[in-house]
Structure 1
Amino acid sequence: MSLTITIIQADIVWENIDANLEQFTQKINSITTKTEVIVLPEMFSTGFSMQPEKLAETMDGKAVRWMLKTAIEKRVIITGSLMIGESGRYYNRLIWILPNGQMGYYDKRHLFGYANEDQHYTAGNKRLIAQVKGFKINLQICYDLRFPVWARQQANKDETPEYDILLYVANWPEKRSHAWKTLLTARAIENQCYVVGVNRVGKDGNGIYHSGDSMVVNALGETLYHKADDEDIFTITLDKESLEKTIASIPFLKDADGFKIL
């Protein structure tokens, strides 16, 4: 059992939805390898902007419609986060769209107060674990990475893991890239899962440089993919059997503390 994922590490055009949709269209059209999931960075249509009052779209906005059209036409799952306005509030929302047009979403739980994200957006309170081809994928956003309890693996009643892949989309600055790489690896080891982290590159509208450092890490903490500084499109196939063998050979999860997030 396997799942093929394509990571797109891109230099996002600051607060320009049309330009970003155009560049991601071109990048997706350039993919020649068969893939099943395409992952875009956090706030891929605007960059990590604190201007939702000006830029946020509804769930029927052009960026969501573009994701829907792309998923259907390319027959892939597509995911990434957008700024979404809903009922007078704004959310940093990760959207997960299937090739049949069905969608789910996750609103970022941990808002980055250091950049005043908590002053402009409303935090989510519910995780989203998607399922595809026998894989369960825990979908999270950027700053969530610093809070391991929110990602903590818990066994189901039959002692199977809660999820197999932990996925982060991000706009994580280069000045804290060591933390990014370290925490992605830690989340993989402690949760005995694959971790996929997809970040942007380049300077944003505030002059903050992002080195990308998108990564894929296996349950042993081994790096399967890493790319710094340059734009990149990378496709990787993750194997469920090798993950299950790792968990069976070192069954740490069964000794974990049980808890419940309220």
Structure 2
Amino acid sequence: MTSRQNLRTSLVQTHLDWHAPDANRQRLAGLMAPLEGQTDLIVLPEMFTTGFTMSPEEVAEPMRGPTLAWLQTQAADLGAAICGSLAVEDEGYRNRFLFVSPDGEVQFYDKRHLFRMGDEHHHYAAGEQRDLFEYKGWRILPQVCYDLRFPVWCRNRDDYDLMLCVANWPAPRRHAWRTLLQARAIENQSYVIGVNRVGEDSKGLSYAGDSLLVDFKGEALLDGPAGEPYIKTGLLNAEALHQFRDKFPAWQDADAFELQKA
């Protein structure tokens, strides 16, 4: 693994047009354009092309579809990695987190915990493995929305420095969202970024956003006004993270777990 450097990371909190990939891609391209050369990583919400839909048969794309091509073009033009999830058709339908680097490299993770209260488990296939990404020397754990509620799945095995959670997390549960992001940062001694959408979807659910960048002590470094679109860029300090883990090595006393299929 290459040595870590400080990482400029941009959170894109936006509303999403329902089942309108072209419109969402066009809006996001405009929102991201000012970030050219100003950031290293751009984080978009869950299902950023469609909203959180239970009709993947209408909007899901093949893995090598138009959104992946768009992400590769945008990442190259902006000089930054871009990530977020979308509905993908691949041995069924997947809520797939894509991470695309400026050089076109693609890493992905399929959402493991499907939101049964929204019937997601009847429309999508669950991911079967915990994946890790590497970018600019940073070890990254990708998570999607409901995954955030499962601390064993999110457990840092001394194998990541940053957790990314992309979401469509409704406003009535915003306290849980904010609390869990901070809890995951504290217990795992890592940076945590959560990016959520705003606005209202076709089912009438409202979203408050509350996108956060949280440091390894649980302090919110970036936080925006609830319910409003925003783009903010924060700095992840590699040396500060390393020093804190050395000074307060709670990770050395963590219990070991093995995850097995039921």
The Cα RMSD (Å) is 1.0
Q: Which residue of 2 aligns with 1:114?
A: 117
- Equivalent in 234, 239, 242 of residue 240 of structure 2: 242
Residues 22-171 of structure 1 mapped to structure 2, 5 A cutoff? 22-31=26-35, 34-87=38-91, 89-154=92-157, 161-171=158-168
Write out the 4+ residue segments of structure 1 that deviate beyond 4 Å after TM superposition: none
Residues 205-229 of structure 1: per-residue CA shift (max 9 Å, x gap): 1110000000011111111111221
Q: Distance in 2 between matches of 1:186 and 1:77?
A: 26
Unaligned ranges ≥5, structure 1:
155-160
What's the CA shift for 1:61? Answer: 1.6
Q: Which residue of 2 aligns with 1:257?
A: 255
Does 1:226 find its partner at 2:230? no
After the TM superposition, which of the residue ranges 205-214 and 226-235 deviates more from structure 2?
Answer: 226-235
- Equivalent in 192, 197, 200 of residue 195 of structure 1: 192
Decide whether the 8 Å contact of 2:35 with 2:78 is kept in 1. no
- CA pair 199-126 structure 1, distance change in 2 beyond 3 A: same
What's the CA shift for 1:32? Answer: 5.7
Q: Which residue of 2 aligns with 1:158?
A: none
Q: Distance in 1 between matches of 2:240 and 2:76?
A: 31
Decide whether the 8 Å contact of 1:166 with 1:196 is kept in 2. yes
Q: Distance in 2 between matches of 1:30 and 1:254?
A: 42
Total equivalences in the alignment = 255
The residue type equivalent to 1:191 in the other structure is N
Q: Distance in 1 between matches of 2:155 and 2:166?
A: 17
Decide whether the 8 Å contact of 2:36 with 2:79 is kept in 1. no
TM (norm. structure 1) is 0.95
After the TM superposition, which of the residue ranges 26-35 and 15-24 deviates more from structure 2?
Answer: 26-35
Decide whether the 8 Å contact of 2:72 with 2:100 is kept in 1. yes
The residue type equivalent to 1:48 in the other structure is F
Residues 180-216 of structure 1: per-residue CA shift (max 9 Å, x gap): 0000000000000000000000101111000000001
Secondary structure, aligned partner of 1:28: helix
- Equivalent in 10, 14, 22 of residue 18 of structure 2: 14
Q: Distance in 2 between matches of 1:225 and 1:170?
A: 17
Q: Distance in 2 between matches of 1:59 and 1:182?
A: 33
Q: Which residue of 2 aligns with 1:172?
A: 169
Secondary structure, aligned partner of 2:68: helix
